[in-house]
């Protein structure tokens, strides 16, 4: 992904402005794109995201007064609280904290609990200053939220010497997002951001949290992943997402299973007879999407990346027609990319806006980008932001 900003320099400079000193270190975590497996995570199902080459950097220094102060290039007004007060703030009084700061402070809160669970004295953990900078686009379905959580969690894990595993840190990030921010999201984003690997996808079983790192081979096949950010904003906390979750829970209950993950496509005839049409279509999306994830991983291994194009297309149709979370902008992005020769294309992320992805030959990227611009202009839509992303390493210490 190409951006003018260098978040590492920005984080360094911001930290200097905040403290007048240099940080003890830098930690970073990437955003992610979900290749396939949408709205399956909270149904205990399968997802297949990869970490991208946009990252959030945390520059961290310690302080000896037991307080935590966070600042971001997004909002240069620092937010400061005593670490001991985090327990009173989250989750019930989270509204007292400006929304963006709930992400890093929520991670600190969750990690203090994790420290306690590991037998540590949470009140002995050192205070910290954290400056954050990022080149992950916000609200585009690329999980800038997991990136800020992962960078913060990695930094605190090291400085507090918690020795938590990447999966533990992903869970702390999810807990922060669910309870400190108040967004009812699954574990996919944090797992992809923590565990991503260059040129590989993270095949995740959201029930067992078992992970398989699957080589994608896009570069060798001459393929790029094009992101078409429609810039129509989405908000997970608004109704549509919650309604979809409720429909899934209802469907699982009617079918007598713990989660939709426990159904297979052959169960759908029975499902159709037992529930109303809307609930049935929500169920059908999740059940067929789980199967598409399994098929994508199998086909990638057996035949390489070009073999998954039809699954990407089918995933989009299912989200558009059955789960009803696409938008006219996303549908146009997908149709235009396909017409420009993409191997496959689908909306990605939670829906109701955000981005689409297209798997496309490198030499067609320029043409596809121009065609998307023309199609959006002709439809009277605001300009889309079109760029490529590359499967990259997950959270790490950066110096
Ligand atoms: P997405 O994860 O798809 O980008 P979300 O709504 O889940 O969208 O998360 C975006 C929110 O995360 C932002 O509105 C902001 O509150 C917070 N956030 C993400 N990155 C940063 C950052 N670098 N600095 C401050 N806040 C951030
Ligand atoms: Mg998010």
Instruction: Please report, for the chain, the start and end positions of each structural domain, with discontinuous segments joined by +.
Output: 7-213, 218-389
CATH topology agreement for domains 7-213 and 218-389:
no
Cα–Cα distance, 396 to 78 (Å, whole number): 24
For the cut 50, the answer to whether the pLDDT of residue 2 exceeds it is no
Work out the mean pLDDT of the chain and round it to a whole number: 95
Question: Is CATH 3.30.230.10 the classification given to domain 7-213?
Answer: yes
Cis peptide before 189 (omega within 30 of 0): no
**DSSP bridge partners of 39:** none
Q: How far is the CA of 148 from the centre of ligand 1 (A)?
A: 7
Q: How far is the CA of 144 from the centre of ligand 1 (A)?
A: 5
For the cut 60, the answer to whether the pLDDT of residue 125 exceeds it is yes
Nearest CA to ligand 1 atom 6: 139
Structure tokens at 104: 């890093």
Cα–Cα distance, 295 to 167 (Å, whole number): 25
Confidence of residue 237 (pLDDT cuts 50, 70, 90): very low
Residues with CB under 5 A from ligand 2 (ion): 143, 145
CATH topology of domain 218-389: Alpha-Beta Plaits (3.30.70)
- Average pLDDT in the 313-339 region? 97
Check residue 137 and give its pLDDT.
87
Using the atom order of ligand 1, give the atom closest to the CA of residue 137: 4
Check residue 204 and give its pLDDT.
98
Q: What are the pocket residues of ligand 1 if the criterion is a CB atom closer than 6 Å to any ligand atom?
A: 56, 72, 74, 99-100, 103, 132, 134, 138-139, 141-145, 148, 236
Which of 59, 100, 231 gets mutated to test ligand 1 (max ligand atoms within 8 A of its CB)?
Answer: 100
| ipTM surpasses cut 0.85 | yes
Confidence of residue 235 (pLDDT cuts 50, 70, 90): low
Using the atom order of ligand 1, give the atom closest to the CA of residue 185: 7
Query: Among 97-111, 154-168, 180-194, where is mean pLDDT lowest?
Result: 180-194
For the cut 80, the answer to whether the pLDDT of residue 236 exceeds it is no
For the cut 90, the answer to whether the pLDDT of residue 31 exceeds it is yes
Using the atom order of ligand 1, give the atom closest to the CA of residue 236: 6
């Amino acid at each position: 992904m190409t951006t003018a900003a260098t978040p590492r320099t920005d984080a360094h400079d911001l930290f200097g402005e905040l403290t007048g000193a240099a940080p003890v270190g830098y930690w970073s975590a990437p955003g992610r794109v979900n290749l396939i497996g949408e709205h399956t995570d909270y149904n205990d199902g399968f997802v297949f995201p990869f970490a991208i080459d946009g990252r959030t950097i945390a520059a961290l220094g310690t302080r000896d007064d037991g307080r935590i102060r966070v600042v971001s290039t997004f909002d240069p007004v620092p937010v400061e609280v005593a670490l001991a007060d985090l327990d009173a703030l989250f989750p019930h009084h989270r509204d007292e904290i400006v929304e963006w700061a709930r992400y890093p402070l929520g991670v600190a809160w969750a990690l203090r609990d994790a420290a306690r669970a590991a037998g540590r004295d949470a009140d002995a953990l050192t205070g910290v200053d954290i400056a954050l900078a990022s080149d992950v686009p916000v609200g585009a379905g690329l999980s800038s939220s997991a990136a800020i959580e992962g960078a913060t969690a990695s930094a605190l894990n090291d400085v507090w010497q918690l020795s938590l595993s990447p999966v533990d840190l992903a869970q702390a990030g999810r807990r922060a997002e669910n309870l400190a921010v108040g967004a009812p999201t699954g574990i996919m984003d944090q797992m992809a951001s923590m565990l991503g690997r260059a040129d590989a996808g993270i095949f995740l079983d959201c029930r067992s949290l078992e992970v398989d790192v699957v080589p994608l081979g896009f570069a060798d096949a001459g393929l790029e992943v094009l992101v078409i950010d429609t810039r129509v904003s989405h908000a997970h906390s608004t109704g549509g997402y919650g309604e979809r979750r409720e429909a899934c829970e209802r469907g699982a209950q009617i079918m007598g299973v713990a989660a939709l993950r426990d159904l297979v496509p052959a169960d759908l005839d029975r499902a159709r007879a037992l529930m109303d049409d809307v609930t049935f279509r929500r169920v059908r999306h999740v059940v067929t999407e789980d199967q598409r994830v399994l098929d994508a991983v199998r086909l990638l291994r057996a035949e390489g990346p070009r073999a998954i194009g039809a699954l990407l297309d089918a995933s989009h149709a299912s989200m558009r027609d059955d789960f009803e979370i696409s938008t006219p902008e996303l549908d146009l992005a997908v149709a235009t990319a396909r017409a420009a020769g993409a191997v496959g294309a689908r909306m990605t992320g939670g829906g109701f806006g955000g981005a689409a992805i297209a798997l496309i030959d490198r030499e067609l990227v320029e043409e596809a980008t121009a065609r998307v611009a023309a199609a959006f202009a002709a439809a009277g839509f605001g300009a889309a932001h079109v760029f490529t992303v590359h499967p990259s390493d997950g959270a790490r210490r950066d110096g």
